[in-house]
Amino acid sequence: MMFAILFAFWRFMEIITLIPIMGMLAWFVNLHLESNVMTPTYILVMFIVSVLALAWAIFTLFSYHRSSANAQFVAFIDLAFFGALIAGVYYLRFIARADCASISPGSSVDFDFGILSGRVSGIDVNVNKTCSMLKASFALGIMNVVFFFITAILAWIHGDHAVKTERRYVETRRRSHSRGHSHSRRSHSGHRSRRSSHSHHRAYV
């Protein structure tokens, strides 16, 4: 039960953080396609990884019973996405040092409240949309690296526990079966010995 709650929580976190990455990078991909220009590798890698990771997260969340039964396979795929997301973040690493916003003095505003009259200088904040979207994708990518590592560990622990439980169950069944078989052998041999002694007694009478 605890595995189900933790697994569903982290899967949900992956989904809600992968959707913005996919949406923002899809805008870049579409922009390059319309301009008939090759999409840069740093955008393409992260976009493909986010799309595949989102599809996998949704599939394993809504087919939980199948995922829990194949927990070790789920852990392996999650580790693969963990590595792929690291690669995507690595390609976007240059944006971490970029300054996406600039602040400059704006127009002055006069106000008149009697003795409190005066002038206030405004501030203009200019935000580079392209830079901000790439930086947000980079940050969300790092978050998903952590999230997929957590779900991989959870799935691996659950799968290892399930395998050990199944082995104990099989061994218990095997022991009970061998005990029942040896008991039936003893009862059968006892029955045969009683029959032989009875027939021997009848022969001497």
pLDDT of res. 72: 86
Neighbours of 20 (CB within 10 A): 14
Stated pTM of the model = 0.69
Q: Is 51 exposed, middle or buried (0-12, 13-18, 19+ CB in 10 A)?
A: middle
How remote is the C-alpha of 35 from its chain's centroid? 35
Looking at the predicted structure, is the pLDDT value of residue 24 above 90?
yes
Q: Is 61 exposed, middle or buried (0-12, 13-18, 19+ CB in 10 A)?
A: middle
pLDDT of res. 163: 43
Q: Which of 168, 157, 166, 95 minimizes the C-alpha distance to 128? A: 95
How remote is the C-alpha of 106 from its chain's centroid? 46
At residue 111, what are phi and psi to the nearest 5 degrees? -135, 150
At residue 37, what are phi and psi to the nearest 5 degrees? -120, 145
Rounded (5°) CA angle 120-125-131: 175
The residue-averaged pLDDT of 199-203 equals: 42
Q: How far apart are CA 187 and CA 193, in angstroms?
A: 10
Looking at the predicted structure, is the pLDDT value of residue 151 above 90?
yes
Looking at the predicted structure, is the pLDDT value of residue 136 above 90?
yes
Q: 92 in helix, strand or coil?
A: coil
Q: How confident is the model at residue 203 (pLDDT cuts 50, 70, 90)?
A: very low
Looking at the predicted structure, is the pLDDT value of residue 112 above 60?
no
